[in-house]
Amino acid sequence: MREIEWTSSKESPAHIVVSERLSEEYGPWQQAKGGGWARGGFGADAFTLQENGMLQCPAGKSLWLSEVRQENAFSQRAVYVALQEDCLCCPLREQCLARKAKGNRARRVSAVRRLLPAPSCVEPTSGILAATQWVDVAGRMLRRTWMTHWRRQHVEIVPLPDIPKNISPPQRSPRAVRSHHRWSWYDRLGRSAWWGPAVMRVTVAGVPAFLEVK
């Protein structure tokens, strides 16, 4: 059989180890990008974050934090909402709200922050990688073994040469003997199971010779 060495043994390279995350750490808040008539003339970058955690609009009004929801497993979204009274009397309303806005809702601004990746480091490893070898398998021997095995899994039915042509069943016992209280169970079984002499021999694979059906 062939034996080919594809690669020789060598030292194992360093691998990256990712430390287990003890707590979820998110990056800084980033205001959602966008503008135009769908989101209004003023984009999210026109609103300034104040020290008290509220946003200040171009007109000088404040937007308070409405909710912080988990969008998916990797990001969170914070929604800031202005007071409807401030938006109704604001001189910059047409530039801030969308063109098709009905005016029943105040301006909303959202910010997104994403989960930071877990810290990782490269650690050297000591060890030797084994050589990669190609070794042929004795396919013909396995195939011959399987073929020999499956060829033995068969049922052989051979007719017997010496079969009497005319044979009659055993004589029927009298009525009094055939009654239930006079005839034994073995006698009844022998009478009912009689099918005449054996006419063939059946050999089943895996069945020992002393259990052959005749």
With 0.85 as the threshold, say if the pTM is over it.
no
Count of C-beta atoms within a 10 Å radius of residue 90: 20
Average pLDDT, the chain: 76
Q: What is the average per-residue pLDDT within 174-183?
A: 68
Look at residue 39 and tell me whether its pLDDT is greater than 70.
no
- Residue predicted with more confidence, 181 or 158: 158
Tokens 């060598």 -> residue: 10
Which residue did the predictor score with more confidence, 168 or 159? 159
C-alpha pair distances (Å), 127 with each of 9, 10, 159: 10, 9, 70
pLDDT of residue 37: 45
How confident is the model at residue 25, as a pLDDT?
82
Distance of CA 185 to the CA centre of its chain: 60
Residue 22 has pLDDT above 80, yes or no: no
User: CA distances (Å), 181 to each of 74, 186, 194, in order?
Assistant: 88, 13, 22
pLDDT over threshold 50, residue 106: yes
pLDDT, greater one: 127 or 91: 91
- How confident is the model at residue 195, as a pLDDT? 66
Q: What is the pLDDT of residue 128?
A: 73
Q: How many helices (DSSP H) and strands (DSSP E) are in the chain? A: 5, 14
Q: What is the Cα–Cα distance from 171 to 92, expressed in whole angstroms?
A: 121
* Highest mean pLDDT out of 27-41, 82-96, 194-208: 82-96
Per-residue pLDDT at 148 exceeds 80 = yes
What mean pLDDT is predicted for residues 6-17?
70
As a whole number, mean pLDDT of residues 127-139 equals 77
Greater pLDDT, 181 or 47: 47
176-213: buried (b, 16+ CB within 10 Å) or exposed (e) per residue?
eeeeeeeeeeeeeeeeeeeeeeeeeeeeeeeeeeeeee
Give alpha helix (H) positions in the chain: 84-88, 93-96, 139-151, 175-178, 185-192
Q: How many CB atoms are located within 10 Å of the residue 100 CB? A: 7
Question: How confident is the model at residue 103, as a pLDDT?
Answer: 63
